[in-house]
Every structure is written in C-alpha cells, then in structure tokens.
Amino acid sequence: MRRAAELAVQQINQAGGVRGRPIELVALDDSGRADRAVEVARQLADDPGIVAVVGHLTSGATLAAAPVYSGATPVPVISPSASSPALSNAGSWIFRVCPTDLRHGAALAAWARDQLHARRAAVFYLNDEYGRGVRDVFVAEFRERGGEIVANDPYLDDLPGFQPYLERIRRRGGMDVLVIAGTRVGAERILRARDAMGLDVPVVAGDGVSGIEQSPIAEGMFISTPYLPDRPDSVNASFVESYRAATGGSLPDHRGAGAYDAVGLIAAAIAAAGPDRDAIRNYLASVGHDVPAYQGVTGRIAFDGHGDVPNKSVVLGVVHNGVLRTAGGS
C-alpha cells in the first residue's frame, strides 16, 4: 500500500501537483490492531493539514476507526482492501475501492464446485471480521451449489498446530478442497501441515493471504483477488511498469493497486473541489453519478450510497513459480 501510494504521489507531483501545489503523503502504522487504528484515526482527524485518508488495510481496523473519521472533525477515508460487508454501514465518510467479502466467498465457492468439481469442502477461517465474512458466504454458496461442508473450524494465527484438525477431517472421509479464509501467516502453517500429512488436496483462499505466492509451499494454490497485475488494459500496464521500476522489479498486489487508485481519486477530488474535507467527501460520493466514474488501475470505480463499488468483481488467480496469475476459466 505504502509503496504504491508513494508512487502515485510522486507521479502527481512530477506532473505539477494539484492546483499547482504538491501533495504530501503522511504514513502511519496501525499495526493491524483495532485499538491502534483508533489512535491513528484520532491523530489524523485532529490534524487540519490532513484532507483525506487512504486506509486502513484490514476490515477490523477500518471498522474500529470509522466512528472517529465520521466524528466531530470528520475526514474522508478510502480503503484499498477492507472488504467486510459491515463497512457498508460505517458512515457517509467511508469509501472503499475493493469488492466485499460477499464477492470473495461466492467466487471461491463457484470455483471449487465448477472448476475443481469439489463435493466436500473443509473450511479453516481466521476468527476475525474478515475470516468470518468470507467463511459465511462461502459456506452458504457452496451448499447452495450442492456441496457438503465437512469442517468449519475457526483458528487464531498462534494456534499450536493444524494437524489435529486435518487428521479429524481425514477420519471423517476426507475433503475435495481445503478453503482458507485468513491471512498469510496462518495459511502457510496450514499448507505445511497439509504437506507433512501427505494430503493431496487443492487449496483455495481469499485475498487476505496476499504475499503467500512468494513461498514455494503455495505452488498451485488458488486465490480470489479484486486485482491481478496481468489485468489486460493499458492503464494497468503503465502502472505495473512504473511500480516495478520503482521497487526493483516487484509486482503490485490488490492492496497496492487499490492504494494507488485511492490517491488518484483524492487528487481528482482536490482538483475539482479544492482541499476541503467536506468538498472532497461530496465529490467522492458523486463519483459515477454527478461526476464521471474513475478509471483506475483496478478498473472502473463508481461509488454507491454506501461508499461501495458494487460493479467490482473478483478474479481467481493461481500461484505459479512465485507469481499469482489469472487462472484459466476465471
């Protein structure tokens, strides 16, 4: 997120800034914790020099901070990656450029049934806002499509081991697909346990595991994501080329691409309405309605009355040689 946001700011300022003035990026760390996110939000909201916020990364942190951003000194917020459906009702100052967990869970269920032809699914989900959201939708959609859920287990990243969970599933007749609704930390441990037990079962996961493609253990894994760098359009191709040049060859993920678009949206709002928080919020609420939709690297962005982008869909990527690429059939 930070690298992509820095790239966006650099490009905007090199082109003359906004209204003839440079914009400045102030980066703070919420540590992925709700309590710290509230502290960060207060610091930003109370600073009159801050006109908009890009963040937060996680749903839990964004939901915790939302009342502050909508409070006594409100400030508009665009999250690149907070996907909880609960964020739709977090207030009129909160926007996001990513689809919700409703899209991820449904896409994973469709892929498991239609592409992998799985009948029996085991679900491991991180017991937080994100994990429960993806789990809920996957389970409902998989069952609707005629599949059977053979395990539906919550976990925390510091769980001592996953082998007892997998052994219990094996005793119950096994599974055709293993679903992970969590982050990279837990997913890597689950994959190591799977391999240690010699289980030959495909794995699908939500976008919370981003970065896991860099680990050899993730080869062949399917991941739902709102964005992939091989997205076939010239706007994205230019962004990927610039990002790779700025980062020594790294590829952006959906969080970085979303942050890049969020900075672009904020700059467009300032250019059209000025560096005033109320004016920026009102402009963002009009994107796709009174003002044209924003054509970003993640696709067309048009906000609804909840600050969501209902037109946005997700794609399935497959890990191959350390890179997440669009999977055939997605």
Q: What CA–CA distance (Å, rounded) separates 330 from 66?
A: 34
* CATH of residue 55: 3.40.50.2300
Q: Is 127 exposed, middle or buried (0-12, 13-18, 19+ CB in 10 A)?
A: middle
Specify if 9 maps to a domain: yes
> What's the total number of domains in the chain?
2
Range of the domain at 177: 102-225
Specify if 318 maps to a domain: no
Out of 208, 225, 242, a domain closes at: 225
Residues 33 and 128 in one domain: no
Specify if 323 maps to a domain: no
Specify if 116 maps to a domain: yes
pLDDT given at position 330: 65
Percent of the chain with pLDDT over 90: 95
Residues 240 and 203 in one domain: no
**Which structure tokens are listed for 291?**
């003002």
**pLDDT tens for each residue of 159-213:** 889 999 999 999 999 999 999 999 999 999 999 999 999 999 999 999 999 899 9
Residues 108 and 65 in one domain: no
Q: Identify the band that residue 5 occupies on the pLDDT scale cut at 50, 70 and 90.
A: very high
Q: What CA–CA distance (Å, rounded) separates 167 from 271?
A: 58
pLDDT given at position 47: 97
DSSP three-state, residue 208: helix
Residues 259 and 184 in one domain: no
Specify if 273 maps to a domain: yes
pLDDT given at position 329: 67
Residues 8 and 40 in one domain: yes
**pLDDT tens for each residue of 44-88:** 999 999 999 999 999 999 999 999 999 999 999 999 999 999 999
Residues 174 and 145 in one domain: yes
pLDDT given at position 328: 86
Residues 85 and 28 in one domain: yes
- Mean pLDDT of the 208-223 span: 95
pLDDT exceeds cutoff 70 at 233 = yes
**pLDDT tens for each residue of 80-94:** 999 999 999 999 999
Specify if 310 maps to a domain: no
**pLDDT tens for each residue of 259-309:** 999 999 999 999 999 999 999 999 999 999 999 999 999 999 999 999 999
Out of 196, 225, 254, a domain closes at: 225
Residues 119 and 94 in one domain: no
Output the pTM of the full model: 0.89
Residues 124 and 89 in one domain: no
pLDDT given at position 129: 87
Q: What is the DSSP letter of 249?
A: S
Residues 137 and 240 in one domain: no
**pLDDT tens for each residue of 7-46:** 999 999 999 999 999 999 999 999 999 999 999 999 999 9
DSSP three-state, residue 79: strand
